[in-house]
Amino acid sequence: MTLNCLRMTKFSNELYFIVHASSIHFKKVITSWRSTVDPGPGLYSLQIDSIEKQYLLKWNKSVEYWTSGSWDGQKHIFALVPEMRLNYIYNFSYVDNDNESYFTYSMYNPEIISRFIIDISGQIKQLSWLDASQQWNLFWSQPQFCEVYARCGPFGACGENRLPFCNCLTAFEPRSPHNWDLSDFSGGCMRKTKLSCKAKEEKPGFILGYVPSRFFSSSENKTLLPNDESACRNFCLVDCSCYAYTFVSEQCHLWNDEGLSNVSLMLSDSNSQTFAINIKVSSSDTPTNASKINTKVLVAGIVSGFFGLVLLCSIGVICYRRAKRQAYLLLGVHKVINH
pLDDT digits (tens, 9 = 90+) for 111-132: 888 888 898 889 999 998 999 9
pLDDT score of 20: 44
Specify if 148 maps to a domain.
no
Q: Give the H or E element holding residue 255.
A: strand 251-255
pLDDT score of 155: 92
Which of 198, 172, 200, 208 is closest to 187 using CA atoms?
Answer: 172
Specify if 201 maps to a domain.
yes
Buried b (16+ CB within 10 A) or exposed e, 246-270: bbeeeebbbbeeebbebbbbbbeee
pLDDT score of 308: 54
> Rounded to an integer, what distance in angstroms lies between the CA atom of residue 228 and that of residue 217?
21
User: pLDDT class for 27, splitting at 50, 70, 90?
Assistant: low
Long-range contacts of 79-86 (CB under 8 A, 24+ apart): 79/54, 81/142, 83/140
Average of per-residue pLDDT across 255-282? 84
Predicted confidence (pLDDT) at residue 313 exceeds the cutoff of 60 = no
Q: Full-prediction pTM beyond 0.85?
A: no
Number of domains in the chain: 3
Please give the DSSP secondary-structure letter assigned to residue 88: S
> Rounded to an integer, what distance in angstroms lies between the CA atom of residue 65 and that of residue 122?
10
Q: Please indicate whether residue 156 or residue 99 has the higher confidence score (pLDDT).
A: 156
Average of per-residue pLDDT across 253-263? 84
User: pLDDT class for 306, splitting at 50, 70, 90?
Assistant: very low
pLDDT score of 300: 41
Instruction: Tell me which residue range forms the domain holding 308.
Output: 296-339
> Rounded to an integer, what distance in angstroms lies between the CA atom of residue 333 and that of residue 320?
20
In a shared domain, residues 207 and 244: yes
Average of per-residue pLDDT across 19-32? 62
pLDDT score of 50: 86
> Rounded to an integer, what distance in angstroms lies between the CA atom of residue 260 and that of residue 184?
20
- Among 143, 168, 187, residue at a domain's last position: 143
In a shared domain, residues 50 and 134: yes
Residues 6+ apart with CB under 8 A from 267: 157, 158, 159, 162, 167, 209, 210
User: pLDDT class for 133, splitting at 50, 70, 90?
Assistant: very high
In a shared domain, residues 35 and 166: no
Note the Cα 69 to chain centre separation in Å.
Answer: 26
Average of per-residue pLDDT across 260-284? 84
In a shared domain, residues 207 and 127: no
Give the mean pLDDT of the chain.
Answer: 77
Rounded (5°) CA angle 82-86-91: 95
Predicted confidence (pLDDT) at residue 106 exceeds the cutoff of 90 = no
pLDDT score of 186: 84
pLDDT score of 184: 81
Residues 6+ apart with CB under 8 A from 235: 224, 226, 242, 245, 252, 254
* Contact (CB, 8 A) for 24 and 102: yes
Specify if 290 maps to a domain.
no
User: pLDDT class for 34, splitting at 50, 70, 90?
Assistant: confident
Return the number of other C-beta atoms located less than 10 Å from residue 198's C-beta: 7
Specify if 6 maps to a domain.
yes
Mean pLDDT lowest among 183-192, 284-293, 329-338 = 329-338
> Sign of dihedral through CA atoms 207, 213, 214, 220?
positive
Average of per-residue pLDDT across 52-56? 92
- Among 114, 143, 172, residue at a domain's last position: 143
Predicted confidence (pLDDT) at residue 16 exceeds the cutoff of 80 = no
In a shared domain, residues 216 and 94: no
> Rounded to an integer, what distance in angstroms lies between the CA atom of residue 252 and that of residue 229?
7
Mean pLDDT lowest among 11-15, 54-58, 80-84, 106-110 = 11-15
In a shared domain, residues 301 and 275: no
User: pLDDT class for 317, splitting at 50, 70, 90?
Assistant: low
pLDDT one-digit tens code per residue, 81-97? 988 877 778 888 888 88
Q: What are the two backbone dihedrals, phi and then psi, of residue 333, each rounded to the nearest 5 degrees?
A: -65, -40
Q: Please indicate whether residue 96 or residue 168 has the higher confidence score (pLDDT).
A: 168
Which residues are registered as beta bridge partners of 115? Answer: 127
Average of per-residue pLDDT across 220-249? 84
Specify if 149 maps to a domain.
no
Q: Please indicate whether residue 327 or residue 38 has the higher confidence score (pLDDT).
A: 38
In a shared domain, residues 22 and 63: yes
Q: Put residue 327 in one of left, alpha, beta given phi > 0 → left and psi -120 to 50 → alpha.
A: alpha
Specify if 150 maps to a domain.
no
